[in-house]
Structure 1
């Protein structure tokens, strides 16, 4: 069974095409399950859409959900469409986000740390003038936030858990945060959720996928379940490198991966 839980569309402002285009691409790719998971609005901001090139307007969120549900019904005889969202995670706003999602029948919610200390994880300038010790502190802080996101109980999937390497590949080589990474992975297993293998890293400076093989090996050691997400921002990337990921997971030692329907884990043998 082929599935992809992480796709975007034009509503977020930095992806192209309509939701239906991603569904059609999934059908053409031979997928049985496609998840729609556009970026959450900035629920806590005083403006309705403070950053139109990053996330949808708060007022548009109900329209997003309604459109996915309509398409779920429209395509039900051709492919299973899942209602998801990629949620930002802010420690001090988690209850607001929880309340904002509660009215809707999400199949899953992806929790992604996109900012630390108010700076995008993809901003390579954040590393300028930081010595080795400061870099370790920043990496530890990132994984501490991921641990908090796991323990919030809001998410079924953790998004791109080493994406800080996206535009700063050296992030992967910063040593000293191994304990924080392990604690986050152990919490994922304890909370019975999952991490995604996200193939969009190939579109960034780092190349390859999120997370690294080293983290996936640790995840297997701790009994962490994994899922697949292309993080497609164009329809042609739906399911991108699915077979290669499947093969690599088998080589590492995984026996299955998962997706979520009505927030219940569905196990799919590799």
Structure 2
């Protein structure tokens, strides 16, 4: 059983092609299940689309839902198309987002922290004027937000939980192991899964999210895992799936999960 729960398309403004191209790529990659999970609109903004190159317009969200459901029906019997979304997590706006999501039949929602203190986690410049203590504080704050996202009850999956290293590889060496462990304990207690996201290979840091060290700690605390390529072009659908499965078995995982109707489906490794 081969699956990929993290894919994007043109609506977010920074991915190539349409949803059907990703589904067809999934079929060609031998997937049994593909999840469509484009970036959520900024629902708490007064503007329809405040960041056209980052997330879709609020007014286009229903079109996104309808298209996924149409394609789910079209490809039934060939590949199981799941309705997902990659949601930003802003604690102060959680109810706004949750009220929108409750209106639609999502199979799963990925919760991702993309901004901390109003700045993108991928912004290289955020680190330039900080001393070591301030950098560590930023890392601790990031993992506190991820822990909050787990406890919020909004999500089935947490996205790329060390993606802050993407354009700042030194992030991984910042000393905040206790904050990471506290976060992983919250994730385990909340029963949500973390994804092994292979898009880190497209960033400066290389490799996957999260690091092997975090995956080993996650296994220790009983965190469950899933897979997402975070494909922004069809050619990356299912990227490194077999290699991830092999690594997870080496770490000690015996199963991973995909989500359907917000329920976990176990797939043996």
Instruction: Give the TM-score category using the shorter length.
Output: over 0.9
Distance in 1 separating the partners of 2:53 and 2:139: 27
**1:189 Cα offset (Å):** 1.2
Counterpart position of 1:85? 85
**1:138 Cα offset (Å):** 0.4
Distance in 2 separating the partners of 1:68 and 1:267: 23
Distance in 1 separating the partners of 2:179 and 2:149: 13
Counterpart position of 2:259? 260
Q: Deviations over 1:204-261 (max 9, x none)?
A: 0000000000000000000000000000000000000000000000111110000100
RMSD: 0.5
Within-5 A mapping of 1:125-144: 125-144=125-144
Q: Deviations over 1:106-157 (max 9, x none)?
A: 0000000000000000001000121111111000000000011011000000
**1:179 Cα offset (Å):** 1.4
Counterpart position of 1:18? 18
- Residue 238 of structure 2: SS of its match in structure 1? coil
Q: What is the number of equivalent residue pairs in this alignment?
A: 269
Within-5 A mapping of 1:203-218: 203-218=202-217
**1:193 Cα offset (Å):** 1.1
- Residue 139 of structure 1: SS of its match in structure 2? helix
Distance in 2 separating the partners of 1:164 and 1:140: 12
**1:202 Cα offset (Å):** 0.2
Q: Which runs of 5+ in 2 are unaligned?
A: none
**1:77 Cα offset (Å):** 1.2
Counterpart position of 2:220? 221
Q: Deviations over 1:13-37 (max 9, x none)?
A: 1000010000000000000000000
Counterpart position of 1:244? 243
Distance in 2 separating the partners of 1:241 and 1:94: 33
Distance in 1 separating the partners of 2:112 and 2:163: 10
Within-5 A mapping of 1:99-248: 99-175=99-175, 177-248=176-247
**1:184 Cα offset (Å):** 1.3
- TM-score scaled to structure 1, two decimals? 0.99
Distance in 2 separating the partners of 1:186 and 1:137: 20
Q: Which runs of 5+ in 1 are unaligned?
A: none
**1:186 Cα offset (Å):** 1.1
- TM-score scaled to structure 2, two decimals? 0.99
Distance in 2 separating the partners of 1:76 and 1:184: 38
Q: Deviations over 1:73-124 (max 9, x none)?
A: 0001100000000000001000000001001000000000000000000001
- Residue 50 of structure 1: SS of its match in structure 2? coil
Q: Deviations over 1:168-208 (max 9, x none)?
A: 00000001x21111111111111111000000000000000
